[in-house]
Structure 1
């Protein structure tokens, strides 16, 4: 994330989504729901801090309206990081079904 500080949201999403889906698919066969929740929280903090740094003079409500919302067609999550212009959104670890 440090190397993506000045990048556009679609670049961040394009770079992180393959890592998230690959890592979650590899570890979905073990007891990992708490780990997935912790990683989702960590990624949310990273993306929110990225948005705050990108727009230091904008209010937090504006940042939420611009970069976060309900973007997944079947999920009701309000805090999904996304790019409104392209429609791309950051996947979550917890969306991966755990198979044992």
Structure 2
């Protein structure tokens, strides 16, 4: 089954899928800044656009296309989409 998610008044949307390789979402973000919470460890890969990620206790890092970031479980983090962007997220 495909799970449909919508956040921030429709500015962030994703489709979720679970299969034999794990749990995944693919999504899009319109230009803007968004704060997310994690309940599991995540691997986020930017597939188009560019953004800055702000993880607790770390400096803000800029990511370009096909760059990935490991995001720990149980935190809040910010994504500043510098332009409309898309991503792939794998959950552990």
TM (norm. structure 1) is 0.25
Kindly indicate which of the two structures has a greater share of residues assigned to strand.
Answer: 2
Q: Looking at both structures, which has the greater relative contact order when contacts are Cα pairs under 8 Å and sequence separation is at least 6?
A: 1
Q: Which has the larger radius of gyration?
A: 1
